[in-house]
Amino acid sequence: MNKNVSIFKCSSCDAQYSKWTGRCLECGKWGTIVESSKPQSPISKSTVPAAKTVKLEEIKSEGVRRVKTNIDELDRVLGGGLVPGSLILLGGEPGIGKSTLTIEMAAKIQNALVISGEESIGQIKLRADRLNINSKSLELANETNIEIIIATILTKKPTLVIIDSMQTIFSAEVEGEAGSPTQIRACTTKLLEAVKPTQTTAVIVGHVTKEGIVAGPKTLEHLVDTVVYLEGDRHHFYRILRTVKNRFGSTDEVGVFQMHEGGLREVKNPSAAFLSERGENLPGNVLTCLIEGTRPLIVEVQALVTKTAFGYPTRKASGFDLNRLHVLIAVLQKRAKLQLESYDIHINIAGGLTADEPAADLAIALAIASAYKDKPLGGDLVVFGEIGLGGEVRPIVQVEKRIKECEQLGMKRILTNTGSKKLTSSKLKILDIKNIQEIIKHT
């Protein structure tokens, strides 16, 4: 016998409760808890059919057909191009360049459709004129109802449809306001069911802040086929397109773009671009080689050490984890005997990039020591290595790839822990360093 079990659900964030409350404990809104009931029936072998299974060896392998976007950095991140019938989530902070990237992509593909719930068609046209985009096949629409959007897709059958953004789309068949987790999940599911039979590639744009929001892209990641994020500092030129999920390719690739008045431009050689903006050789400036996906990038680490004017020294970092900086300063004080307790220390990763891998530790420490002693290190030195709490310098991964990148860009010296490998180079002098005390010898 079926039984109806009463549950109470928030119409805003879809949180569920066993009893009614005036205020939702998840989203904090008042008066959004409503009662609903769902039938519960026991599952028995006689009423539930078994799933059909297929042996792995009987399944024929099929290659994935892709549509090129003609934007090499974007195709690299997607694994070679757009897969027909797939759903792609493009996330990023507001103003980072998501709309610019999507309209540039749509303009290069025949039979593309852009549906905007935020901007009017006139505003999109103004952006296209500013970017010098002139496409005869690109179509635009203003719509926020997912049922109408799906009907348009089934009628037009475009190669690519872009929805900007998912936070503005709603379904008339689902309770809750546009942008709520319930609406976003329902609309995404409906869209996924529509693009599969038409073999339309759908790109949905989702906003996310540094703090994160309830109805952000994280709600959608398990529903879509591919998740890419456009990252970078909106006050700098460079943007990094990074994939965090891809059912049709690798998640190890990144694309590098440069933001200009005329739109996003591909950066074919990121290391050379970063080095071209480098200033004069000053104390506290040192180069390091980071791995972004499978691509090595040589970036500049800048350190400024000044006598503190107050009793408590200031530590600040741009593009580097502040907690990690505190640890490295403590290791320098304890193991390398640098008297930094009465100095303000400021760290900056040039170009608006983020150095979030352990390989940057040694460069940060050496930059601080160089600024503290007021001695320049030279513009031909590249430093990378992980530092432990005991002051030891540990080997890192993909050293050969980093060395090759340094050779191509004309560097002369490398400072790292070579580990058990015998690293040699006809163009570089590789200096082996085992502990942080040895960095004093190089400053």
pLDDT digits (tens, 9 = 90+) for 424-437: 777 889 988 889 88
How far is Cα of residue 67 from the mean position of the Cα atoms in its chain?
23
| Residues comprising the chain, all counted | 443
Q: Write down the H helix ranges in 277-422.
A: 322-335, 361-373, 399-408
Task: Determine phi and psi for 241, rounding to 5 degrees.
Answer: -95, 115
Q: Please name the residue that has the structure tokens 């007021």.
A: 374
Q: For the chain, give the percent of residues with pLDDT over 70.
A: 93
Which of 253 and 226 is assigned the larger pLDDT? 226
Q: Is the pLDDT of residue 177 over 60?
A: yes
The whole-number pLDDT of residue 213 equals: 46
Q: Is the pLDDT of residue 392 over 70?
A: yes
- pLDDT attached to residue 214: 37
Predicted pLDDT at 40: 55
Write the DSSP symbol of residue 65.
P
Q: Give the whole-angstrom CA distance, residue 17 versus residue 38.
A: 13
The pair of structure tokens assigned to 270 is 């990121």
Q: What is the mean pLDDT of the chain?
A: 87
List pLDDT tens digits, range 190-238: 999 999 889 999 999 987 655 544 345 566 788 899 999 998 877 788 8
φ and ψ of 81, to 5 deg: 140, -175
User: Binning pLDDT at 50, 70 and 90, where does residue 5 land?
Assistant: low
Distance CA 278, CA 236 (A): 14
Task: Report pLDDT for 12.
Answer: 76
Residue 388 sits at the vertex; the CA angle it makes with 383 and 389, to the nearest 5 degrees, is 135
pLDDT of residue 381 exceeding 50? yes
Burial class (CB in 10 A: 0-12, 13-18, 19+), 423: middle
Where residue 278 falls among pLDDT bands split at 50, 70, 90? confident
At 215 the pLDDT is 42
For the four alpha carbons of 100, 105, 111 and 116, in that order, the dihedral sign comes to negative
Confidence class of residue 391 from pLDDT cuts 50, 70 and 90? very high
Residue 135 has pLDDT above 90, yes or no: no
Q: Whose structure tokens read 């990763």?
A: 349
Provide the CA 190 distance to its chain's centre, in angstroms: 26
Question: For 70-79, 269-278, 346-355, 377-386, which range has the lowest pLDDT when averaged over its residues?
Answer: 269-278
Per-residue confidence band for 285, with pLDDT thresholds at 50, 70 and 90: very high
d(CA 64, CA 247): 11
Q: Averaged over 305-309, what is the pLDDT?
A: 93
Which pLDDT belongs to residue 45? 54
Cα 96–chain centre separation: 11
Q: Which residues contact 190 (CB under 8 A, 6 or more apart)?
A: 146, 147, 150, 171
**Inter-CA distances, 223 with 13, 26, 187, 256, Å:** 17, 22, 11, 26
Averaged pLDDT, 292-318: 91
Q: Do 67 and 109 form a contact (C-beta atoms < 8 A)?
A: yes
The pair of structure tokens assigned to 275 is 């080095």
pLDDT band at 115 (very low <50, low <70, confident <90, very high): very high
- Which of the two residues, 220 and 297, has the higher pLDDT score? 297
What Cα–Cα distance (Å) separates residue 5 from each residue in 18, 32, 131, 343, 359?
Answer: 10, 20, 56, 64, 55
With cut-offs at 50, 70 and 90, classify the pLDDT of residue 413.
very high
pTM over the 0.85 mark: no
Window from 50-64, 313-327, 364-378 with minimum mean pLDDT? 50-64
pLDDT of res. 15: 81
Average pLDDT rounded to a whole number, residues 348-374:
93
> Which segment of 25-39, 162-176, 224-238 scores lowest on mean pLDDT?
25-39
Q: What is the pLDDT of residue 265?
A: 92
CA angle, residues 156, 158, 164, in degrees to nearest 5: 105
Sheet holding 16-17, edge to edge: 16-17, 3-10, 33-40
Lowest-pLDDT range of 38-47, 100-109, 244-253, 346-355: 38-47
pLDDT at residue 148, as a whole number: 96
| pLDDT above 80: residue 41 | no
Q: Are 327 and 356 in contact (CB under 8 A)?
A: no
Q: How far is CA 442 from CA 294, 349, 373, 413, 431, in A?
A: 30, 21, 11, 12, 10
Give dist(CA 148, CA 420) in Å, integer.
63
Name the residue with higher pLDDT: 13 or 288. 288
Identify the bridge partners of residue 185 per DSSP, sorted by sequence position: none
By three-state DSSP, how is residue 207 classified?
A: strand
Lowest mean pLDDT among 208-222, 237-251, 358-372: 208-222
Identify the sign of the CA torsion 91, 94, 97, 99: positive
Q: What is the pLDDT of residue 37?
A: 63
